[in-house]
């Protein structure tokens, strides 16, 4: 039995899942001080935390510790470098809290625009200050979203009913993709000069520290509002402080240097302050707890490394792109089936180009389950040589405008000795992986997760309806779909993300019913 320590107020679903699994002994205790728990349970194998700090000292004290799971997205409360030095995997649960944060943004905007906090205090005191509390309407305003990952896109989705003009900035997403989201692609300067509300959804790193600078703040409209539910340090608060009163700017804030009691350095400029409540919902707590338990089990049983955030990676390369390389390889392998690979070709665009050799390791791990993802480049090249697989990393044409993306092609040998080529391209935005092309079908933009059905067929009316009916009859729900058509080949590709695994007989039935060239299911 592996002991799992949960020293935090986390939904019981994590403990329930691990206990039901049978391979874990779970100790969940949010009342006893962490230092006392560490001493009482020196045999701890894994620890699941929220905001508790897991320092180098704590890690050194737990001699059997192998995994730390952060039930949430940010993991700056964990000494990840020391964990890697001690061969301890650190994982997080990205996306589990996204909707809670997105809804908090809307709540803050409305609370400020209609003076909800002041009105409640005033009315409880017996006052009647209607004239003083004249508000503003959100409808029709321009909203700028900085960062279009999980949370930024959900904010845009939630704003649809307010008939806003929505501007968006994210250097990792193509303009076409941003337009497909119903968002107007914009520069930072355009957002800060034109938006009535600017909401921030970027991680804190060297490139984003002080991102909202004196220069950008100077561009802001009179009476405009900044909402920061992302990370402390993104806004140059001294620059904001110097012009806030003159320009009548508003600042709605939920982030601080420390999540703890005490004076806050931005109390004088924040019009509404929240104690980091974005993810503080029952639903987000449940989702994060559930995913934390599932990720731990998947790591132990399947060797699933997708959510490990402290793997050794070269300086300058974001971890999410190594995860993308693995996912694209895993996807193309499931589409091609277990046929011998004769040729592997890669293209690494944008800032990824210098890291092609390192990313090759993640690609091989995705293509072959028995290839250790912690191998080095020399081991990767030897693996290819030993298996008679030719490898080509192609020169790239930067004028194609693919941004930071990966193209992966494999050529397999079929039983009749003929060769078949498969190709995928993908990118990533703040950890959200996106497949943009499969073979000749471009502009797909789907997230490769869960059960997916791919159906290739000669284009004609009625095919989608037939597939949908077969799925409905089997009690399977369609969660997302894409259906691109290629005018040159007169073929179409139907891509369905589903809530259940399909039986082989249903796959065969669908292929026969629509006379498809191929029907393939994947589970990434």
Distance (Å, whole) CA 3 – CA 109: 44
Please give the helix or strand (H or E) that residue 382 lies within, else none.
helix 377-386
Residues labelled catalytic: 231, 261, 276
334 token code pair? 């499931």
Distance (Å, whole) CA 15 – CA 71: 13
Distance (Å, whole) CA 255 – CA 116: 20
Distance (Å, whole) CA 154 – CA 165: 15
End-to-end CA distance of the chain: 28
Place of tokens 């993908």: 426
Which residues are bridge partners to 452 per DSSP?
A: 497, 522
Q: 236 near 215, Cβ under 8 Å?
A: no
Q: Distances from the Cα of 156 to the Cαs of 35, 87, 202, 507, in angstroms?
A: 43, 40, 15, 36
Distance (Å, whole) CA 435 – CA 446: 5
Distance (Å, whole) CA 512 – CA 510: 5
C-beta atoms surrounding 520 within 10 Å = 16
Closest among 50, 67, 51 to 10, alpha carbons compared? 50
């Amino acid at each position: 039995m592996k002991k799992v320590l949960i020293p935090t107020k986390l939904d019981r679903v994590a403990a329930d899942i691990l206990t039901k699994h049978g391979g874990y002994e779970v100790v969940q205790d949010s009342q006893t001080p962490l230092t006392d728990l560490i001493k009482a349970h020196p045999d701890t194998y894994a620890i699941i935390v929220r905001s508790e700090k897991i320092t180098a000292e704590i890690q050194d004290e737990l001699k059997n510790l192998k995994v730390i799971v952060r039930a949430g997205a940010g993991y700056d409360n964990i000494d990840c470098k020391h964990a890697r030095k001690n061969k301890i995997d650190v994982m997080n649960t990205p996306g589990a809290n996204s909707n809670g944060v997105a809804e908090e943004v809307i709540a803050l905007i409305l609370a400020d625009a209609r003076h909800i906090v002041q009105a409640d205090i005033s009315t409880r005191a017996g006052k009647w200050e209607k004239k003083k509390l004249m508000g503003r309407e959100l409808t029709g305003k321009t909203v700028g979203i900085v960062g279009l990952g999980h949370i930024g896109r959900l904010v845009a989705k939630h704003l649809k009913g307010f008939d806003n003009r929505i501007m968006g900035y994210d250097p990792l997403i193509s303009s076409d993709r941003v337009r497909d989201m119903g968002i107007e692609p914009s520069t930072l300067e355009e957002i800060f000069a034109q938006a009535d509300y600017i909401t921030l959804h970027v991680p804190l790193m060297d490139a984003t520290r002080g991102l909202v600078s004196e220069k950008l703040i100077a561009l802001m409209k009179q009476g405009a509002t900044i909402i920061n539910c992302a990370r402390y340090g993104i806004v140059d608060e001294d620059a904001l402080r110097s012009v806030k009163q003159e320009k009548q700017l508003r600042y709605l804030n939920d982030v601080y240097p420390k999540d703890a009691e005490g004076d806050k350095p931005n109390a004088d400029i924040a019009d509404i302050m929240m104690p980091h409540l974005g993810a503080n919902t029952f639903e987000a707590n449940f989702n994060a707890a559930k995913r934390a338990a599932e990720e731990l089990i998947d790591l132990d049983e399947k060797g699933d490394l997708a959510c490990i955030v402290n793997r050794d990676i070269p300086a300058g390369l974001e971890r999410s792109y190594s995860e993308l390389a693995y996912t694209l390889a895993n996807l193309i392998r499931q589409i091609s089936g277990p046929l011998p690979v004769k040729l592997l070709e890669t293209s690494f665009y944008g800032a990824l180009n210098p890291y092609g050799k390192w990313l090759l390791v993640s690609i091989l791990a995705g293509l072959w389950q028995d290839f250790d993802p912690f191998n080095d480049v020399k081991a990767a090249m030897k693996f290819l040589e030993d298996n008679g697989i030719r490898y080509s990393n192609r020169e790239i044409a930067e004028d194609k405008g693919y941004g930071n993306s990966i193209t992966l092609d494999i050529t397999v040998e079929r039983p009749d000795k003929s060769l078949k080529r498969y190709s995928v391209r993908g990118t990533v935005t703040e950890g959200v992986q996106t497949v943009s092309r499969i073979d000749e079908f471009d502009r797909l933009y789907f997230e490769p997760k869960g059960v997916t059905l791919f159906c290739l067929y000669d284009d004609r009316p009625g095919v989608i309806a037939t597939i949908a009916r077969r799925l409905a009859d089997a009690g399977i729900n369609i969660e997302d779909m894409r259906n691109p058509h290629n005018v040159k080949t007169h073929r179409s590709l139907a891509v369905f993300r589903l809530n259940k695994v399909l039986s082989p007989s249903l796959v065969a039935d669908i292929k026969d019913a629509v006379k498809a060239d191929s029907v393939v299911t994947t589970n990434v």
